[in-house]
Amino acid sequence: MMILIAGPYRSGTGDDPELMARNLATLEEAAWPLFAAGHVPMIGEWVALPVLRGTGATSVLDPRAADVLYPTAQRLLEHCDGVLRLPGESTGADQDVAIARRRGIPVWERLEDVPGVAAAVG
Q: What is the pLDDT of residues 68-104, one digit of tens each?
A: 999 999 999 999 999 999 999 999 999 999 999 999 9
pLDDT exceeds cutoff 80 at 122: no
Does 61 reside within a domain?
A: yes
pLDDT of residue 81: 97
* Structural domain span for residue 91: 2-29+44-121
**Residue 116 identity:** G
pTM recorded for the entire structure? 0.94
Q: What is 9-37 written as a DSSP string?
A: SSTTTTT-HHHHHHHHHHHHTTHHHHHHT
Does 39 reside within a domain?
A: no
pLDDT exceeds cutoff 90 at 120: no
Q: Tell me the range of 41-45, 63-67, 69-73 where mean pLDDT is highest.
A: 41-45
Compute the distance between CA of residue 116 and CA of residue 73 in angstroms, rounded to an integer: 24
- What's the average model confidence in pLDDT over 104-121? 94
Tell me the average pLDDT of the chain: 95
CA atoms within 13 A on the CB side of 73: 24
pLDDT of residue 121: 80
Does 63 reside within a domain?
A: yes
CA atoms within 13 A on the CB side of 118: 5
**Tally of domains in the chain:** 1
In Å, how far from its chain's centre is CA 21? Answer: 13
Does 34 reside within a domain?
A: no
